[in-house]
Each structure stands twice: as C-alpha cells, then as structure tokens.
Structure 1
Amino acid sequence: MNIKRRQFLLLSGISTIASGFLGWKLSNRNSLMETAIAANPVKKDLLLRFVSVADTGTGVRGQYSVAKAMNLYHQLNPYNLVVLAGDNIYNNGEIEKINAVFERPYQPLLRKGVKFHACLGNHDIRTDNGVPQVEYPGFNMKGRYYTFGQDQVQFFALDTNGNADWKNQLVWLEKELSISKAPWKVVFGHHPIYSSGNYGSNKNFIKTFTPLFTKYNVQLYLNGHEHNYERTRAINGTTYLTCGAGAGSRPVGRSEWTEYSTSNLSFATYDVYADRMEVRGIGTNNRVFDRGVIKLNSV
C-alpha cells in the first residue's frame, strides 16, 4: 500500500469518527431538549397549577391525543383548572355536539373535579352567537367576558370576536384590572395579539390591549386561533402564549420576540409561585418541549 493510499484511509477514518461523534452530540443535544413529563415535587410555596389549551372541539384523534396527555400530566402533577381559549365546538358551535367534543374527551379530568373556564372563539359564535356555550355549566362562563380568581391569580376572559361588545368590554376590562388586588394577572381570549403563525400579529389588538397590560402589570396573555404553540419573551412586561394546537396543527414561524414555537399538538402548563410562573409546553408524546419562567415583575 503506497503512502497516499494510507493517508487517504487514515483521513477517511478520522472523518468517519468525527462525523459519528458530531452526530451523537447533535442527537444527544436534541434528546436533552425534550424530557419526559414526571412528577414535580410540590414546593411549599406553590400557589397554583393550571393548564391551557385551545381549538380543541373536533372530537377526533388529535383532540383525544392531547386530552390523554393532559390526563397523564394531571396524574403526575395534579391541577384543578384549565383555561379553554376558544373554538370549543367545531365547526359551528353546535351545543348538541358537547358530549363528543368536550365531555367525552375530558371525562377523566372532569371526574376528578377539574374545572374548565372557556371563552368564545370564531367558530363558537356561528350558532346563536355562542349563547348556548355561555350558558353551558361545564364551561364556567359568567358571560361573554368575565373574571375569576384563584389563590393569588386573577383571570380575565375576553370575547375577542369581531362582533364583540368592544365599547363596554374595554371599559369593563380596565375597571377590573384597576381594582384587582391580585399580584398575578392572566388575560385570555381566542385571538392572538402577537403571532408568527398563519394570521400573524393583530395591530389593532396591539394598540388596544398592550397599553392596558403594561399599565396594570398583566404578566400573561393566553390565546388560541393559531393552531400551534408559541411563547414570546416578555414584551413590555407581558408574555404572550398561543396554545391552539389542542386538536390540529398548522405551521408556525419565528419572530424577533419569539422564545419558542412549534406546530406540534400540545398544551401548556403553569406553576405559579409568589415571585415567578414556570411554564412548560407538553406534546402528545408526553415530553416537555419548552420551558420558560415569567417573573412577577418583568418590566
């Protein structure tokens, strides 16, 4: 064997080993990025644990897959509250479908006393303007927009549809935010404010809502409509989280303010403490694909 031949074989071998090592590192890095859900020891200062999901009401495989993952998470990390951010009944909000698209998929959670608090999506108002859903006890809606509190967290549910009573709703929202004594404020509606998905960011909503969120220290806004998962960095003190892949998915991109985005079927979880909120994105493979922390005062 001549020298050139030996050099070629030696270099080829080194290249193969290097490629294999690099491939292992990349594979290992990816495996570390996602971790299986597990029971998190309850810390004594945990105030509240809740879950959010949206665009669920199909009654088909995707919804059941997400619901199954939500139930497993509950078994390991109990919670008693789910924010259901609209499009609760496809395609036209027909309340007669409620068993197929809500009661049956989430039966294990409902039996354990988990309460769902819903808002109206654009599909929900196609039948009788969503009134049957507002009146349905399982959605725990006190109106088309309403507020409720749990521990030190106050939630504000909005009607973000085009035919909403915007004049009165905005007056109500500012009043409720101004008198709230809760250190944690979470607003949710169906439509996004910031989004890298199919519909993109809503300039009118940015102009309308973000000054109120900043003024009254709203730490988190939750929405659906975009069938994906996207978490922003804190924008003027508020984190915006889309959790609309509760039954189906669509592609999503990234923006300069995006912390994490994916089109995977998923839901989000939140552990609230006195000084921070720990956020996780969880897929139907029962793995945590995103972790983030929202500080109480993140301005």
Structure 2
Amino acid sequence: MNLKRRQFLFLSSLGAIGTGFLGWMLNHQNSQSADVSDSTTVIAANPPKKDLLLRFVSVADTGTGAKGQYAVAGAMNFYHKQNPYDLVVLAGDNIYNNGEIEKISAVFERPYQALLKQGVKFQACLGNHDIRTENGEPQLKYVGFNMNGRRYYTFRRGTVQFFALDTNSNADWENQLTWLEKELSRSNAAWKVVYGHHPIYSSGQYGSNPDFIKTLTPLFQKYGVQLYINGHEHNYERTRAIDGTTYLICGAGAGNRPVGRSQWTEYSTSDLSFAAYEVYADRIEVNAIATNNRVFDKGIIQLKLA
C-alpha cells in the first residue's frame, strides 16, 4: 500500500470517529433537558417591570481565585449591567481549600470587586471546605459575608424571606431544626427560600441525601417553602416541584463536574454558571446563565396558594 493510500484511509477513519463523537455529544446534550432550545437566548437589557418585586442571583463553590471563578463573576457582572440586582445568595465553599480567611482578597474581594463596589450584598452560608479552619468561625465574622457571627440565620427582602442553614455534618442540628421550624411557622412572607451548601435532591456525584429528605422536606412542605438553593455538587440542576418545593443546585461557580438526570430533573448541566431569579407576586422566574452570557435554562416557580 503506498503512502497516499495509507494517508487516505487514516484520514477517513478520523472522520468517522469524529462523526461518531459528534453524534454522541449531541445525543448527550439533548438528554440533559427538553429545554435545550433555550441555549440560544442571550442576556439583554430589559425595561424595568412594574410588577417586579425582587431580583437576586445565587452561586456556590466559588472560592478558588482561579480562571473559572473569574469567568462566572464576569457573567454575573454582565447580567448586573443589563438587569441590576443587589443580592447574591452565596451557598458555601466560599474559600478553597480549607476556609483560610487570609485568602479572602484573592477568592472573594477581587473576583467580585465590580459588584461589591456597586453595593451588591452577598449573604453566605458555610460549606464543608469552609469549616476546615476554626470550624468556619473567621468567615462567620467576616463582614463581606453578612453572617453576623451566625451559622444559620434568616433575613427578609420585601415579600421574600430567606433562611440560611449550616448543612455540615457537625452542625448543631437539634437546635437548628427547632429554630428553622419556629422561624418558618412565624413567617408571613409570601415567598420562603431556604439555602444551604449540601444538596437534598441531586443527580450529581454525591446524589440525594436521604437524611435531609427525611428531616427537611417535611418542614418545607408543611410551611410552604417554594425554593431550596444549594451547592456542593459542581454543576447546575433544577428539579420539578417536589411536594411544592423546587430544588436548585448552582455549584458550578468556579469548577465543574459531570451530572446526570433523575425522574424529577427539569434541567441539568455541568456548565460553569450562576442562577438569576426575578420575583413577582405570583411567580419566580429562574434563568440559568453560563459564562458566555447565554441563558441555558428557564423555569417558573408558581406561588403555592394555601
């Protein structure tokens, strides 16, 4: 066989392999969600909506100070310019690898400098990496995380009440659960949003947490929690409403890992990203935004009437 003949066969085989790989990729992407058509939507400036009550974003597993974090932070900046917001739910693993507060400039203040200068407030909770140094105490006291020394706490923005949890294994679960039920029961907010670092329902590396399903979801159902936000899984996943609660993972804030699907998955992807929320009287509109400033998932959380 001459050289040209061998080159032809070699190049032909590469073409076949490439075609097969492309087909696999397309099938894999299509399997991630029936909403794949949303991937063409680019964030644009929207005129102020008279009925918009609150806009906020969420992101988690951010604190690397590396390229991925800056890419997501850049997308958050771009979205802010188009659609201003002043609240970020920061769902844990704020400082890698061991929660060292001396890294705060590199992994928080510099990446989010543009947002912080414009008065955007970050409301953090502790992740498993954060408690490796002094059980997270330095982060509880750090003014930029707005935890005010508390491992779990609540705050309100208009018709939305947020409940931040310490979901780590060494958390004071007995007192925390008592506190959570008390605060949920006394809340008259139309919208109740709970967030913590660890997942409850997940199709990622760690999977769903049976203990949390047993202890937390009955409270969510009893007191009408419409949304639970978390990280830990380095991916994005949004569930269908499960007993009235949507579970949203936004842990691809600096790095990513593969994610699958479950019967309750509405959309999942490993793309670096954050989530944005627009709150109205009767619904919350969710947009998941990648580092190319494109919306790859849209969802609506309807107000559950008593």
- Asked if TM exceeds 0.5, the reply is yes
In the alignment, the residues of structure 2 paired with residue 290 and residue 31 of structure 1 have an alpha-carbon distance, to the nearest angstrom, of 9
Shift of 1:30: 6.0
Residue in 2 that maps onto 1:161 = 168
Corresponding residue number in structure 2 for 1:68: 74
Q: Deviation of residue 72 (structure 1)?
A: 0.4
Quick one: which amino acid aligns to residue 128 of structure 1?
Answer: E
Query: Are 2:257 and 1:238 aligned?
Result: no
Q: Which of 239, 244, 257 does residue 250 from structure 1 map onto?
A: 257
Query: How big is the shift at 1:42?
Result: 2.0
Q: Measure, in 2, the Cα distance between the counterparts of 1:82 and 1:242.
A: 14
- Per-residue deviation, 1:207: 0.3
Counterpart check, 1:116 vs 2:122: yes
Indicate conservation of the 8 Å contact 1:82/1:116, yes or no.
Answer: yes
2:152 equivalent to 1:145: yes
Secondary structure of 1:57's aligned partner = coil
TM-score, normalised relative to structure 1: 0.89
Deviation of residue 270 (structure 1)?
A: 0.2
Amino acid at match of 1:95: I
The equivalent of 2:21 in structure 1 is: none
Counterparts of 1:135-214 in structure 2, within 5 Å, are 135-142=141-148, 143-214=150-221
Letter in structure 2 aligned against 1:93: G
Question: Aligned partners of 1:125, 1:175: CA distance in 2, in Å?
Answer: 26
The number of aligned residues is 274
Secondary structure of the residue aligned to 1:288 is: strand
Equivalent residue for 2:267?
260
TM-fit CA distance, 1:205? 0.2
The match for 2:104 is 98
Contact 1:34/1:290, CA 8 A, preserved across alignment: no
Pairs within 5 Å for 1:23-102: 33-102=39-108
CA 1:285–1:111: 2 relative to 1, 3 Å: same
TM-score (norm 2): 0.87
- Identical aligned residues as a percent: 77
Contact 2:39-2:294 within 8 A present in 1 as well: no
Shift of residue 298 of structure 1? 7.2
1:14 paired residue number: none
Q: 1:147 to 1:30 in 2, by over 3 A?
A: closer
Q: Which amino acid aligns with 2:109?
A: E
Runs of 4+ in 1 over 6 A off after TM superposition: none
- After superposition, the C-alpha distances for 1:12-32 in whole angstroms (9 at most, x for unaligned) are xxxxxxxxxxx9xxx9x9665
After superposition, the CA RMSD in angstroms is 1.7
CA contact (8 A) 1:234 1:298 kept: no
Deviation of the 1:145 alpha carbon: 0.2
**How much has 1:272 moved relative to structure 2?**
0.1
